[in-house]
Structure formats: structure tokens, C-alpha cells
Structure 1
Amino acid sequence: MLSGPVNASDPAARPPVARRRPRRVAMLSVHTSPLHQPGSGDAGGMNVYVVELAKRLATAGVEVEIFTRATSPALPPAVGLAPGVLVRHVPAGPYEGVAKEDLPAQLCAFTHGLTRVWADQGPGHYDLIHSHYWLSGHVGRLSAARWGVPLVHTMHTMAKVKNASLVKGDTPEPAVRVNGETHIVRAADRLIANTAHEAAELVRHYDAPAARVAVVPPGVNLDRFRPDAAGIEAGRATARVRLGLPPDALVPLFAGRIQPLKAPDVLLLAVARLLQARPELRERLVVPVVGGPSGSGPAQPEGLQKLAARLGIGDVVLFRPPVEQARLADWFRAASVLVVPSYSESFGLVALEAQACGTPVIAAEVGGLPVAVRNEVTGVLVPGHAPADYARALRRFADDPALSARMGTAAVQHARCFGWDTAASATVDVYTQALQRPGQRPFRDAGRQPVTV
């Protein structure tokens, strides 16, 4: 028995097992489709995670079928995402107008739709279930028990952790989610955490058995997110021409969903403080905010714009809608620094993507960000969320224009350690371990007797 979480991305740390590799995986992403545009609504880093992981698993010889809730009657039942990757749309409740908070009421319908597909394919078609986020985990634990297959679950975020760092204006995660996550942890054959810190939180907050928690850091698409072939500084100039940004500007970028948890307001407040102390910077400061409202953000979709106006910095802030990944890479290359002041991040893929493009990061020292960013090497980690601290970090880049390129060079090397091929290989090992099911551990279905398979 292992004494702690397994770092599954480290070959030396993987326990020897009698290998039975999975052939086909049912991957569940109930509340957000892998086909949706990241950066708005409920689509974000998890969407990128599911898509990239599924593609690399298929390349490694494991077929993936991703089940997600149908949001339009016009959607086909199944869509090929890539060779070996199929997206299945499951009708569950009204197609449109269902908020994520209302989805628990539709999980029985989703489970039924998933079971119909399984029945049509026949037992043995799927070797295991890999669920993402607690809504999918609820469906996964019921389906795994019925199908007689293992369940692997990735939390992505945890209710108890989010509630412990609740932001003013944000809504606490409900008790139904806390209870749901507790049952999922008990039922899962393996739990995948992004970092050792997240693994420890699973053990501390949910009593997860450490031996069933594997650490698999996410990856970054190094083919898409990379420096310009001409070099970091030349690439920055070229990207700014394409995006219409001044060539010599200080460009601190925010890219992500506009919601209190991501704290874009902290960046705006920091910029206002910076300009109070250094008013001459106004002539060469441009602050792009790329993303759309999410979470509690849609309740006040213009709140951030109004804040910029109240702070007197509306002239230096550019609000842009979410963009597809290739265009996002251009924004990263064009920026002097990416700012990630989130109150909670299980990892922070956006920070890794920016570094892969040669752009350093100013980030909050929370969650997985200390793993994604090497403090004082590839960026600056800020303890807490005081705007004055972020203003001081920004001032370093304003006072030393070469700092961005120096840290950016180190950032590229750091990001190259996080490829999706490595993450997929480690995930296959987790699947293989789950398939062994030592001692035929029973699957537990809340409200029923344990089902031994």
C-alpha cells in the first residue's frame, strides 16, 4: 500500500502493476461541451483539458467517447472530434436556458441517456469511466456500478476549497455539491489531481485514501502555444501588429472567464494604483481583458467596464470577447506579462500556455499556480490579492523593459516540461491501475447496498 498520493507523471514513482490497458473510455463532461469556446459561460480550462487529453489518449491507442449534455435539438447525436475521439450529445432536460446550478435536477435524465447508449453498444464496450467535475462524477459513480467498470474521477475544482476562499459577490457552493463530491470520492477507484497540493486537499477535506489519488499535471499544446520562430521579442512585435497594439506599450493581459473567482477586478485596481504612482505610464499602458462573463458574472455583465470607468482607467483597458486558441496564442505573444490574480485555481492552464509562448506571469500564490509558475524565474507569485502588491509587480515590468524577455526565455523552457503526451501516458497508467481493482473493491451507490463486480 502506498503511503501517499502517486505522482503518476514520474515513471520512477509508478507502482508496478499487471498491465491490462484500456481499449475504450467513456469520458463524462456533463455541464460543458468540449466543442464550446473556452473563455465564456462554463467553458474554460476544463474544456481544454478534456479535448487535449482525449486527443492524446487516442494517439496512444485508447479510444475516447465524450458524453456531454445536448444544448440544442439541432446537434447530431455524435460528432467526430479527432481520430479516435467521439463526442456524444445526450438529451437531458431543456436544451437551452439551464444554468449549471440547475443541472443536478437533470442528472437522472443524463444517466438514463448514457445508459441507453451503453445498452446499444453492449456490455464490455467501455473499459472504464473517466468523469470530470462533480456533476459528471455523480453520473459516473451510478453508471460505473451498473456497468461493472471502474470509475476514474478528476475534480478540477472542489466545493470545500472554493467555499474556504469565497470572494465577495460570489455564491457559495451548495451542500448538494459538497455531499455529491463526498460520495464520488468514496466511489472512485482512482482520483486524478493536478498537483500534490490538490491531492493533499482531497485527502484533508474529503478523506480520500491517499493510495487512490494520483498526481497527473495537465499539459500544454506545445504545437499551438510556442514562441514565434523569429524569437520572443520579434514575435511580440509581430503579434502586436496583428492585434493593433502599440509596439512599445506595457501590456499586462488578463485572459479568462469574467467572474469574481478569477479576480479581473484586482488587475484593474492594481493598474489604477500604478497610474496614481506613475501617471506618465498612461501614455504607454494598454490592458487587454480577453474573455466573457461566467459564474456570477452574467448577473452584471458590464460590471468590469463600469469599474474601469469609476477608476478613471477606461482609456487604457481593452475589453475583447473570447477567442479561439490560435488567436489566444497571439494575445499571449503580444503581452508583456499575463496576470492571473485568481482566488482559487486547481492548476491554471492559461498561465502555462502564456509561458509556452514566451510570456511571463504574475499570479496569485494559490492552488496549482506555484507549480505552473516558477517564482522569480518565469514570473512573479503574489501572496494574497491586495491590488497594491500587484501594482508593485507590474511596476517591475514597467521599470525594466527587458524583464519580460528574460523571464519569457525561462518560461518557454519551463513550459516544455508539461506536454500533453506526458499527461496522457500518465493517465493511461492510472486507468490501467484502476482496471486491476485489487481485492475487487465494491462500487458504492448512495442509498443502495454495495455492488460487488
Structure 2
Amino acid sequence: MLSAHTSPLEQPGTGDAGGMNVYVLELSRRLAQRGVAVDVFTRATSRHLPPVLDAEPGIRVHHVAAGPFDGLTKNDLPAQLCSFVRDVMRVDVENGPGYFDLIHSHYWLSGQVGTVLRERWGVPLVHSMHTMAKVKNAALAEGDSPEPMGRVWGEEEIVRHADWLVANTDEERRELLELYGADPSRVDVVHPGVDLDVFSARDRAAARSRLGVGRETPLIVFAGRIQPLKAPDLVLKAAALLRQRHDIPAEVAVIGGASGSGLERPTELQDLARELGIAEGVRFVPTVDQARLADWYAAASVVCVPSYNESFGLVAIEAQACGTPVVAARVGGLTTAVADGVTGTLVDDHDPSQYAAALAPYLTDTGLRTTTGAKAVAHAELFSWEATADRMIACYEAAARWRHAKEAR
């Protein structure tokens, strides 16, 4: 398992850690439970990390020294990939030929490493994009920077050389075919999952009590990395409109830390809340563990996911699993994660007034929130990590058969 730019052991919600971290760790866990040993390779970001860590039974994490431990952004990492490849190949040499049966790379940086290892080891390469440069550049948030052409070219190369591609949704599969010319016979759809033991329906009043939220407070929750792509500013603007136009004193909890271009303006959201006159009703919460995050989801009247692009949207599924409706952008994987009009509402553009109108019913109508929340729980139960792992193993087997047949020709 290649996760070069971010470790599955990092706390999601800040820096480069997010849904992909959860994905790699949860998938690895379920594979290990099925008897598939998983070695995860990720770049070391501290000299204090052990070179190899047995994270859980069946999961070994390798912290690869590739470039300085800190101070590097994702845009700096392509120059460190040669060092990364060298150290990963050393593990194979130490264990003897044929030690690894298959490579699963995540994100384009890991995919570049995977294409080299695939040829060196003669094993299948399965790749998950998670996000794609061409898709992101087509729907940039205001103030965000476009993905560089080097990434576009890198992704095109991965599509040509990977034995199998895994898309999170049918929409992502369509993008791989139309934008990257992927072979439709070698692209499968495997939905990410949700940990239903952690994210589950619970007593809203008790969750609010634990978090210090008023019992009757209309509460909107945003959870994710603080960067323009995720559009947390839109949530604040919608909350201001809810107060001004709808007479709804909505409060907002923004959970997460700065990431990407958001690092350049670390106080931008706090400044915006003051400008909008809602600072007293906005709580900025640092990243929290999953159990605490589940409490925030349960405490919310509604969770808002207004991203400009999401390959899936784990936040949306996690929130629904906790019995909370979701208002989200009608983009990417969110159209799969949220059942529009059933478990929440999808919004067509990034107009704060449209979000205010979509959020208002869930903040004021207890009956609607209750019935929608019950349907949300049932919907989320369709997305389990167990199902993800079973489907992924089928993809691995298909990739191995395809490569074997290709080599036999």
C-alpha cells in the first residue's frame, strides 16, 4: 500500500490528512482481518518516527526517509520520489524476490512510485486517484491555485501503466474514461465505507451536553480541512444569511485545521466571522478523534459539505450514520454519498443564499430532521468497510488475472 504524501496514522482534518488517510487505514484493517498482510509505505515527517511500525496485527507501516522531515508541501514532493522508490525497493531486496504480490497506490504521487515498482517487481499495480487534477482545475474555488501540469501528466502516465484503476463512484469512473482515456474494462467502482461501530445514531441531547451546546440551539457543523476547496467560508456566509433573512440564530462549529492554500491565510475564517457579525455564534474546533467527531455529528441539526470537488465525501456518510441530515454540493462523489431529498439536500452551485435556503428547514423543523435522520442512518449502512474490502479483493484478483493474461500473450 503506497501512501507517499500522507500517513494513514495521521489525525485527519489538518495538513494533508483527510479522507484518504481514513480510507487507507480502514481498508488495510479489513484486508488484514481477511488474512491479507499489508505493508504501508509513507514519507517520514519526523526523525522521531520509527522506520518500521507494526501498527496493528497484519499492518506494518514503513516511514520512508525522503527529503527533509518538515517544511515540504505536496508540490515539493515530486522531487523526492526517487529517494522514496529507492527505500521501498530496499525492503523487497531484504525480504527476497516475490515478497510482495500486489501494489495498491493512492493519489498520483504514490501512483508514480507504483509504476516504477510494478516494472521492477513484476506484480500488478492497482491505483486509486482519490482526486484528479483535471477535475479540480475545472471547478476551482475562488482564491485557490490550479493543479500543476506536472500532476496532469503524471496522472495520465498512471492511467496508461496501471493494471487496474479503482474509482470511488460511477461519476469518478466516468471522469477517468472521458478525461484520461482509461480502458473501461480495467476500471472498477468500489465505494469507500464508514466505521459503523464509531459512527452510529446516538442521543442528540446527550451529545450536546458533552460538547457544551445548548439543547435547542440550531447548529450547523462543518468538518474537514480548512482550505478553499472545502468552502468553509460558504457555511459562515450562509449562517449570516440565516440570521438576516430567515430570522434563524444558527450557530456554526467549524472542525478541522488549515491545509493547502488555507495555510497562507490561517485567520481568514475568524476574520470573516467578525466581518459578517456572527463571531459570537461560531466555534472553531481543532481536529478531534473519531469518537469526538461522532458526537459533533450527532449534536448537529445539519452537517454542511459545500466542497467544490469531492471524490466521495466521507464526512457526509459519517454524519448520516450518526442520524444527521446533510446539505452538500452537487459535485463528484457527494451525489452518491447523499440521497438528495431523502437523507439531505444537494445544492447546485456555491451561492450562499441557496445554501441558507437548503439549511433552514433542518434547523427549524424537528419532524423533518428526525425522519430525514432515520433515513440517513439506513442509507449509511449501505457503505461498510467490510463491503469495501471484499470488493477490493475482487479488484486485486482481476488485476492479477489481467496481468497474467497480458504476460502470456
TM-score range normalised by the length of the shorter chain = over 0.9
Q: Which residue of 1 aligns with 2:391?
A: 426
Partner of 1:24: none
Structure 2 Cα separation of the partners of residues 49 and 187 of structure 1: 23
Q: Secondary structure at the match of 1:160?
A: helix
Instruction: Report the equivalent of 2:271.
Output: 306
CA distance in 2, matches of 1:167, 1:413: 32
Aligned pairs for 1:75-94 within 5 A: 75-94=49-68
Q: Distance in 1 between matches of 2:8 and 2:354?
A: 36
Pick from 130, 139, 155 the counterpart of residue 156 of structure 1: 130
Tell me what 2:351 maps to: 386
- The match for 2:309 is 344
The equivalent position to 1:105 in structure 2, one of 79, 97, 105, is: 79
Taking the aligned partners of 1:313 and 1:401, their CA distance within structure 2 comes to 24
2:148 alignment partner AA:
P
**1:103 CA drift (Å):** 0.3
Which residue in 2 is equivalent to 1:130? 104
For residues 358 and 428 of structure 1, the distance between their equivalents in structure 2, rounded to whole angstroms, comes to 30
- CA–CA separation in structure 1 for the residues paired with 2:185 and 2:246: 53
Matched, 1:268 2:236: yes
- The match for 1:408 is 373
Partner SS state of residue 322, structure 1: coil
d(CA) in 2 for partners of 1:410, 1:104: 44
Residue 207 of structure 2: aligned partner: 239
Counterpart CA distance in 1 for 2:102 and 2:243 is 54
Using the alignment, how far apart are the partners of 2:221 and 2:393 within structure 1? 35
Match of 2:331 among 363, 366, 383: 366
Letter of the 1:216 partner, please give it: V
Between 41-50 and 398-407, report the one with greater CA deviation.
Answer: 398-407
2:199 equivalent in structure 1: 225
Unaligned 5+ residue runs, structure 2? none
For residue 14 of structure 2, give the secondary structure of its aligned residue in structure 1.
coil
| DSSP-derived class of the 2:395 partner | helix
Shift of 1:402: 2.1
Superposed CA offset, 1:248-295 (max 9, x none): 11111000000000001111111111111134x32xx32100000011
Deviations 1:56-76 (A, max 9, x none): 011111111100001111111
Residue 258 of structure 2 aligns with which residue?
Answer: 293
1:317 paired residue number: 282
Aligned to 1:196: 170
What is the SS of the residue equivalent to 2:279?
coil
Displacement, 1:393? 1.0
SS of equivalent to 2:118: helix
Q: Does 1:328 align with 2:309?
A: no
SS in structure 2 opposite 1:124?
coil
Question: Cα offset for 1:81?
Answer: 1.9
Alignment of 1:143-222 (within 5 A): 143-222=117-196
Distance (whole Å) between structure 1 residues aligned to residue 251 and residue 246 of structure 2: 14
What residue number does 1:445 align with? none
CA distance in 1: counterparts of 2:365 and 2:168, whole angstroms: 34
Q: Give the secondary structure class of the aligned counterpart of 1:153.
A: strand
Q: Distance in 2 between matches of 1:179 and 1:302?
A: 34
Instruction: Report the AA paired with residue 160 of structure 1.
Output: K
RMSD value over aligned CA atoms? 1.2
Normalising by structure 2, what TM-score? 0.98
Per-residue deviation at 1:438?
5.1
* Larger RCO, structures 1/2 (Cα 8 Å, 6+ apart): 1
Deviations 1:426-451 (Å, cap 9, x if unpaired)?
00000011111356437xxxxxxxxx
Conserved 8 A contact 2:319-2:326: yes
Helix, strand or coil: the match of 1:28?
Answer: coil
SS of the residue corresponding to residue 41 of structure 2 reads strand
CA contact (8 A) 2:251 2:281 kept: yes
Residue 365 (structure 2) pairs with residue 377 (structure 1): no
Off by >4 Å, runs of 4+ in structure 1: none
> What CA distance in whole angstroms lies between the structure 2 residues aligned with 1:186 and 1:67?
23
Q: Which amino acid aligns with 1:272?
A: A
- Contact in 1 for aligned 2:239/2:251 (Cα 8 Å): no
**Is the Cα contact below 8 Å between 2:124 and 2:403 reproduced in 1?**
no
Q: Which residue of 2 aligns with 1:71?
A: 45
What's the TM-score, normalizing by structure 1? 0.89
Between the aligned partners of 1:183 and 1:338, the Cα distance in structure 2 is 37
SS at match of 1:145: helix
- Cα separation, 2, equivalents of 1:334 and 1:431: 39
- Paired positions, count: 409
Letter in 2 for 1:399: T
Q: Distance in 2 between matches of 1:223 and 1:397?
A: 26
Does the residue aligned with 1:436 lie in a helix, a strand or coil? helix
Question: Does residue 18 of structure 2 align to residue 44 of structure 1?
Answer: yes
Q: Is the 8 A contact 2:46 2:70 kept in 1?
A: yes
Deviation at 1:97, TM superposition (A): 0.9
Q: Secondary structure at the match of 2:55?
A: strand
Amino acid at match of 1:433: A
User: Higher helix proportion, which one?
Assistant: 2
SS of structure 2 residue aligned to 1:296: helix
SS in 1 for 2:366: coil
- Counterpart residue number, 2:216: 248
